[in-house]
Each structure stands twice: as C-alpha cells, then as structure tokens.
Amino acid sequence: MKESKLNEIHDEARKNNIPLMKDDGMDFLIHYLEKHENIRDILEIGTAVGYSAIRMAQVRWDMRIDTLEVNPEMYEQALENIADAELSDRITCWLGDGAQFETEKKYDLIFVDAAKSQYRRYMEHFMRNSLPGTVFIFDNLAFHGIVDDNSISHNRSTVQMVHKILKFREHLLKDERFETIYYPDTGDGIAVAKRIK
Ligand SMILES: C[S@@+](CC[C@H](N)C(=O)[O-])C[C@H]1O[C@@H](n2cnc3c(N)ncnc32)[C@H](O)[C@@H]1O
C-alpha cells in the first residue's frame, strides 16, 4: 500500500474521532517489532479501522495477524482498508467480543488495545494462547493522563474506569508470570509484559 493511502486511513480516522493508538505509541510498537525478528504471529484485540494491523503487517512479509473488533461498522471499514492494502491473506479480522474469541493458536505477541475495563479479562482469557516468551503489549494504561491525576475527573464512570486501570496496572507489575516494563510517557501509557512462566 502506498504511504499516501496509509496516511489517508490515518487522517480520516483521526478526523472521525476513531481512537487510533497515539502516533508515538504506534512508532514504539513498530520499532519493537523491527527489533524482535522472532515475532511472526500476532493477536490484536481492538482493530478499529485496521490501521495498526496494517502497520504491523508491513514490518515483515511473514507476519500473520488475527485482529478482533466488536463494532460492526469498524469491522467493515477495517476489512475494506485491509483489502485495499492487499493484506487480506495475512490479516484476519474477526467480529465479536474479543474475550469470546477461541482458537488453539499460540501467538508471539498479543496486543491489547480495546475496552480498557476488560484488560484483566483479556489477559487471563488469552494466557492459553501464549507460551513463555510471548509478549503482551497493553496500551492506554495512563488513560490520557487521568489515571495518574484523579483530580482531573469528577465523573463517576471515569473514576471507576481509572480505578480499574490502576488496579490492572498494579496487578500486572506484580504478576510473577510476567516480566513487565511500563512506559508511562509512551502512547497512552504502554506496558510490555513478557511471559516468563
Ligand atoms: C483504541 S481502538 C483500536 C485502535 C487500533 N488498534 C489502532 O490503533 O489502529 C479500540 C477498538 O476496540 C474495540 N473494542 C472495544 N471493546 C472490544 C471488545 N470487547 N472486543 C473487541 N473489540 C473491542 C472498539 O470498538 C475500538 O474500535
């Protein structure tokens, strides 16, 4: 896919307030994939319009991506964008709640970028699709800075969400099954958790 077309998908999504990963977070993810040449099979939870899946698939020709999206309109748009990018043979989209997705496959990388309140659920659900060495990457653990500054929000549901994200982040950093590095200032707060047992 030409870079101009990819930029078009990006700009159109931003214009329509589709919550793509922040640009510096995306750069971080791509750089991580470039550095880790062993990564071939990727699971993404939260396709939106397929932008991050397309960017990831472009890193190496032998990467295969399964990506999960619950919103039918996003899903349809993602299918179109992925077909335009001529990547339908390597990116498979699935419509439905990510936590209901069942497969026997094991992935090298599991990228979680969907409903923030469900991160713990996704993590436990997809443990069966990981092996020691599999890396989970979680975005949005800073929740646009709100997690670290509770005074910003007076809205009850936001406070609940913040609380859930904080709890998940604390849990992840203590979870002995993983070696986790948290990057608070990258993207919207990114954690890279490598399964070690
Ligand atoms: C932050 S966006 C994903 C952005 C995309 N990864 C990118 O950077 O191009 C989150 C997406 O997750 C989807 N989503 C929310 N809950 C979900 C769930 N339970 N299962 C699958 N997708 C979900 C939303 O509809 C939304 O499109």
Cβ(68) – ligand 1 distance below 6 Å: yes
CATH number of 3-195: 3.40.50.150
pLDDT in tens, 40-75: 999 999 999 999 999 999 999 999 999 999 999 999
Cβ(48) – ligand 1 distance below 6 Å: yes
- Rounded-to-integer distance, Cα 11 and Cα 152, Å: 28
If you take atom 4 of ligand 1, which residue's CA is the nearest one?
Answer: 20
Least confident of 42-51, 112-121, 129-138, 183-192: 112-121
CA of 192 to the centre of ligand 1 (A): 18
- Are 90 and 64 in contact by the 8 Å Cβ rule? The answer is yes
Cβ(72) – ligand 1 distance below 6 Å: no
pLDDT of residue 111: 98
Average pLDDT of the chain to the nearest whole number:
93
Q: Is the pLDDT of residue 149 over 70?
A: no
pLDDT of residue 117: 85
Q: Is the pLDDT of residue 4 over 90?
A: no
pLDDT of residue 151: 62
Instruction: List 163's β-bridge partners, or say none.
Output: none
Q: Is the pLDDT of residue 192 over 80?
A: yes
How close are the terminal C-alpha atoms of the chain, in Å? 39
Q: Is the pLDDT of residue 3 over 90?
A: no
Domain boundaries, the chain: 3-195
CA of 68 to the centre of ligand 1 (A): 8
Ligand 1, closest atom to CA 68? 21
Instruction: List 93's β-bridge partners, or say none.
Output: 67
Interval 86-105 mean pLDDT: 96
Per-residue confidence band for 182, with pLDDT thresholds at 50, 70 and 90: very high
Cβ(74) – ligand 1 distance below 6 Å: yes
